[in-house]
Amino acid sequence: MPEATAQSGPHANHLICEKSPYLLMHAHNPVEWYPWGEEAFARARRENKPIFLSVGYSTCHWCHVMEQESFVDPGTAQIMNRFFISIKVDREERPDVDRIYMTFVQATTGAGGWPMSVFLTPELKPFFGGTYWPPEDRYGRPGFRAVLERVAEAWERDREKILASADEATNYLGEISSSGRGPSSQERFPAESLMDEAFRRFDRAFDRVHGGFGGAPKFPRPVVFNFLLRYFARRRDERASEIVLATLRAMAAGGVRDHLGGGFHRYSVDAAWHVPHFEKMLYDQAQLALSYLEAFQISRDHFYAEAARSILDYALRDLRDPAGGFYAAEDADSLVAGEEGRRGEGAFYVWTADEIERVLGREAAAVLNFYYGVGASGNVQDDPQGEFIGKNILHAVHSPAEAAEMFRLSEEEIARRLADARGKLFAARSARPRPNLDDKILTAWNGLAISALARASEVLGDPRYVEAATAAAAFVKSRLTSPETRILLRRYREGEGAIEGFLEDHAFLIQGLLDLYEASFDVAHLAWAIELQEKQDELFSDTASGGYFSTSGRDDSVILRLRDDYDGAEPAGNSVAAMNLLRLAEMTGRTAWLEKAEAIFSLYSSRLQAHPEAMPQMLAALEFAFTGGKQIVIAGSPRADDTRALLQVVRENFIPNRVLLLADGARSQEHLAEFSPRVAGFAPVAGHAAAYVCQDFVCKLPVTNPRDLFAQLART
């Protein structure tokens, strides 16, 4: 960025030309912030100053707090500008940078989080770090000004010692990034007992009162549901499905769900899912929608189907760009109506009892208040910061049957009145100041959204969802793929696609495209998935140890190529990659991809055996490999009733290890045969659509009757 451009406008710093909403929030701080890049690095080397690296994201509450307390303060900015080169990073744009220095902070402090604050040498090696620092000493934390002054003094007096410490820290990061992984013989890798042990650990951690795992704060972690439902499908251990169904039901009843607008907030600060941290993330919506869809397939309870619909309809309404991509997130904080300039967490979502009665009237409010636990003086009991005094967070504390008994109405009438009341409250809420929208579009998270929408179109039979998934895929292809290199890009905003994609961008998008092929049978989606898999193999493969690095190694500013080894709020890239490889091997017959998946399991074998609960998405892939994939080929015209009937059997049932192909006898089948040669041998039987169920590339006799297909699937 040219110096003159960066400094244009009042108090503008070097972030002024960035696209990230998070970076732009800091573009007028008195701190002379730089984006991550060579301009900042070169100045640090030239002036021999340490770097202060601050990493956060736009919906991070404590990131905003630290900005208001420290980064807008002229005195603090003066210290930072005099002694440091200050760099601001959006962790959602640069997960590679975040991962390296978060590993350092966690290793040296025992904890992590955002904002992340790390001091680096001019060579980008870390030597001291933490998370949020208040402006002065409090909360048991040192004040940020004092930290700055001590680090600056140490840099002047003990620079050689700091440089040596930074070298040691960087070497240590390289060591711990490979610890817990290593090749394992099949004899040392007891897959079945490993999955049993993982289930036992989740079972022990399960909160049998409130659902979820452990105590407060309580996070939804859909990767756990993915493993448990697949474990249930093979073992038929009802406890595994009960844990998932109970947790999803409790979450859907809690305040962590937006009962008016749909979707879920990031997490609950209490154990009962009542009081959320109010930000809404695209990756949560996508993964939770899938969890509710699979819960519906298993239970046939429409409660779960409606929960999935409400999530996806929220995303389509509030997170969708007109061109088809999906935005990253909505903030937790918003302006408080009637209080000039004051922002409050959850201000958009919470209600006083008087507000509800003014909107609904006394009679309708009585029904809603009973059902959702609304109290005259508020319903938040534990509120140490006083943010929700007198306010109510809607959470379903009674069932429709209890409400029907209370008001001597039918359950159908209660449902009608609640739906009407929610509609009126939603309309009233829409007039409030909305939370900030982080409108950058991330490839990885759009890949997750494509998966959810594609699967929803299959399970719920709603064509809107496959149309939205197709549009999102087209958006990524046209705007987030470099036209010169065909390399996938990470982020799009305001007409610009930028930052070369990481492993998760490739893996999540490949997964989405495979799901989209199975929902639409458009072979172009499968062809692109194969192209991306080949590009992923080229850019990220660790040819020495197996598996994939998170970064391509093409960026010299990234001092280490790490692999993620935790399936958390988002699954690890290698966990999704393993499942993709297994599915692609089943679809195409390419045994090389099966071997690459097996190499990933071998690479993570020590980690899985020591802490299987850390990588439930990897366990889901291992479940696929251990059980064996199931090819289901439907031979028939996609628009014919008999073809649709066979497809419905496959789509309405939970068959986690299946891949679904369509042999339609048309030119699309010829195109498909380029990637999956065996599909050419499948044809209708006596003029009727036929289903072929194959495992280990051995097929059962074709069936034309949906009942026979169901029986065949049940037996296998």
Let me know whether 273 and 401 are in one domain. Answer: yes
Yes or no: say if 345 and 73 are a contact pair by the CB < 8 Å rule. Answer: no
pLDDT at 186: 45
Let me know whether 229 and 361 are in one domain. Answer: yes
Q: Which of 11-25, 555-569, 663-677 has the lowest mean pLDDT?
A: 663-677
For 36-48, the pLDDT digits (tens) are 999 999 999 999 9
For 65-98, the pLDDT digits (tens) are 999 999 999 999 999 999 999 999 999 999 999 9
Residue finishing a domain among 381, 400, 435: 435
Contacts 24+ apart (CB under 8 A), 376-383: 377/353, 378/352, 378/353, 379/274, 380/274, 380/275, 382/270, 382/275, 383/275
On whether residue 490 sits in a domain, the answer given is no
For 646-655, the pLDDT digits (tens) are 999 999 999 9
On whether residue 394 sits in a domain, the answer given is yes
On whether residue 568 sits in a domain, the answer given is no
On whether residue 634 sits in a domain, the answer given is yes
Q: Which of 199-208, 296-305, 409-418, 672-681 has the lowest mean pLDDT?
A: 672-681
Band of residue 187 on the pLDDT scale cut at 50, 70, 90: very low
Let me know whether 169 and 229 are in one domain. Answer: no
Say whether pLDDT at 276 is over 90. Answer: yes
Say whether pLDDT at 184 is over 70. Answer: no
Q: Which of 173-182, 356-365, 411-420 has the lowest mean pLDDT?
A: 173-182
Instruction: Tell me how far CA of residue 341 lies from CA of 74, 216, 297, 334, 459, in angstroms.
Output: 21, 31, 47, 10, 45
Domain with 414 in it: 222-314+327-435
Q: How many domains does the chain have?
A: 3
For 291-325, the pLDDT digits (tens) are 999 999 999 999 999 999 999 999 999 999 999 99
Say whether pLDDT at 347 is over 70. Answer: yes
Let me know whether 299 and 359 are in one domain. Answer: yes
Average pLDDT, the chain: 93
* pTM, to two decimals: 0.94
Let me know whether 96 and 235 are in one domain. Answer: no
Let me know whether 173 and 226 are in one domain. Answer: no
Yes or no: say if 466 and 519 are a contact pair by the CB < 8 Å rule. Answer: yes
Structural tokens at position 304: 């779960």
On whether residue 261 sits in a domain, the answer given is yes
On whether residue 193 sits in a domain, the answer given is no
Let me know whether 144 and 277 are in one domain. Answer: no
Residue finishing a domain among 122, 146, 178: 178
Let me know whether 263 and 144 are in one domain. Answer: no
Let me know whether 297 and 395 are in one domain. Answer: yes
More confident residue, 141 or 206: 206
More confident residue, 139 or 174: 174
Residues 616-642: what's their mean pLDDT?
93
Say whether pLDDT at 626 is over 70. Answer: yes
Band of residue 582 on the pLDDT scale cut at 50, 70, 90: very high
Let me know whether 290 and 412 are in one domain. Answer: yes
Residues 18-26: what's their mean pLDDT?
96
On whether residue 480 sits in a domain, the answer given is no
Q: How far apart, in whole angstroms, are the C-alpha atoms of residue 252 and residue 372?
A: 12
Structural tokens at position 184: 């394992």
Let me know whether 122 and 254 are in one domain. Answer: no
Say whether pLDDT at 181 is over 70. Answer: no
Residue finishing a domain among 435, 450, 471: 435
Let me know whether 270 and 356 are in one domain. Answer: yes
Residues 692-710: what's their mean pLDDT?
91
Task: Report the CATH number that the domain containing residue 713 is assigned in CATH.
Answer: 3.40.30.10
On whether residue 335 sits in a domain, the answer given is yes
Structural tokens at position 356: 């509800």
